Chains A and B, each alone.
Chain A
Amino acid sequence: MSWLLALSTIVTILAWMVARRRPDHRPIALFLTVALAADLARWPLRLFVLLPAHDRFGSASFSGWWRVAGHLESALFLTWSAGIAAVAQVVFVRRRFWPVVAAWAIFVALLAIGYPTIRGAVLARFYLGAELVALAVAIGALVQWFWTEEPSGIQHTIVMLLIGVDLVVVIAGAWRHGIFASWNLAQISYSVLYFLLLALNGLALWLAPTSSSRSPR
């Protein structure tokens, strides 16, 4: 869905414009950048490598560079889940995101080691497991933050939106109806999410102080 990529690009640019004025918005901008980069990389990978590979191998497992491309696509797909856990850690409890990156790398390694057992329906369950772990980490950080006296900002709202929309996708959307057959349902949810992110980042940009309005140092 190329227009979703276009929307993602606009939201990411807007987020960086906000982050230039408000440093606390940087984790959001970084998350959106990683998500956009992963989607941009996956698009040609699927179109020019994996779809021809499916035609070539049929129902048999991939081998050689085709298999590497498949694992790369899986790793890129998992960046969204890992990103939500990481940005929640940074925004809500001010922790470093490297442990989440390490967990993501372990999940990707397990996928590669478990292949060809982990493919098809097993791969879908594996993805679901990773998604649930990421959501549990993110919700844990959210609950921790809720009991603190930390001031609430627009970046908190955005991370809560990411968690909320991902829960909808898992409970009622593509994960329920089958991610390989019904991913368009997830794209619908993410489109709604990105429209809201567009509005929130626009609001944040409007509210953020400009460099000319800052007091001279």
Chain B
Amino acid sequence: MASTDIELSIAALTAFVSVTITLLTLLHAEVRAQGRKREERDRMILDALTRLGIDPRKEGTLYPVEVHPRGELPAGAPVRIAVDSELLPSEGSARSDPWGNLDGEDTSGMLPGEDERDEEAHPRAKTSP
């Protein structure tokens, strides 16, 4: 192999390795960022449920909840959670996913104290300790 061929091979190999590393690390960063967003969202949901007097882990039931707005939560944005007793999984329910998607259903839940309808919308809150 001529010297120029070696130089071109080294340049191509370096470029390939560099671009691959760059793309992989950017992908890795995105995966970690998404993981952190999911953890943050789950924590906010659990906090909100706790404020409602519901401890899903203690009661052994996960409540179907809807986070509004959908998708990414901007930092500091209020999280509205609706816990509807009609949507709770019951025996024989087709909803096998405890965090089931509520697509097409009402997503305008309120935090307690925000509206009188909360008392009706969140019967679980009243019965919880």
**Total number of A residues with any Cβ neighbor in B under 8 Å:** 24
Contact of A156 with B by CB under 8 A: yes
In the assembled complex, which residues on chain B have CB atoms less than 8 Å from the CB atom of A152?
25, 28-29, 32-33
Which residue on chain B has the smallest CB distance to residue A177?
B6
Q: Given A164-B18, A165-B17, A193-B18, verify A157-B25 contact (CB < 8 Å).
A: yes
Contact of B21 with A by CB under 8 A: yes
Cα-based distance from A193 to B6 in the complex (angstroms): 17
CB pair A164–B10 under 8 Å, yes or no, is no
In the assembled complex, which residues on chain B have CB atoms less than 8 Å from the CB atom of A168?
10, 13-14, 17
In the assembled complex, which residues on chain B have CB atoms less than 8 Å from the CB atom of A164?
17-18, 21
CB pair B18–A165 under 8 Å, yes or no, is yes
B-contact 0/1 string along A48-81, CB 8 Å cutoff: 0000000000000000000000000000000000
Cα-based distance from A165 to B11 in the complex (angstroms): 10
Which residue on chain A has the smallest CB distance to residue B39?
A149
* Contact residue among B14, B19, B28 (Cβ-Cβ distance under 8 Å from A188): B14
Q: Give the size range of B's interface with the partner.
A: 20 to 34
Cα-based distance from A177 to B10 in the complex (angstroms): 12
Q: Which of B9, B13, B33 has the most CB of A within 10 A?
A: B13
In the assembled complex, which residues on chain A have CB atoms less than 8 Å from the CB atom of B9?
172
CB pair A151–B32 under 8 Å, yes or no, is yes
Q: Given A160-B25, A168-B17, verify A151-B7 contact (CB < 8 Å).
A: no
Cα-based distance from A167 to B16 in the complex (angstroms): 13
In the assembled complex, which residues on chain B have CB atoms less than 8 Å from the CB atom of A185?
6-7, 10
Contact of B51 with A by CB under 8 A: no
Contact of A106 with B by CB under 8 A: no
- Chain A residues within 8 Å of B, Cβ to Cβ: 149, 151-153, 156-157, 160-161, 164-165, 167-168, 172-173, 177, 184-185, 188-189, 191-193, 196, 200
Q: Nearest 5 CB-CB pairs, A to B?
A: A152-B29, A157-B25, A189-B14, A192-B14, A164-B21
23 contacts between A and B (CB under 8 A): A149-B32, A151-B32, A151-B33, A152-B29, A156-B25, A157-B21, A157-B25, A157-B26, A157-B29, A160-B25, A161-B21, A164-B17, A164-B21, A168-B14, A172-B10, A172-B13, A185-B6, A188-B11, A189-B10, A189-B11, A192-B18, A196-B19, A196-B22
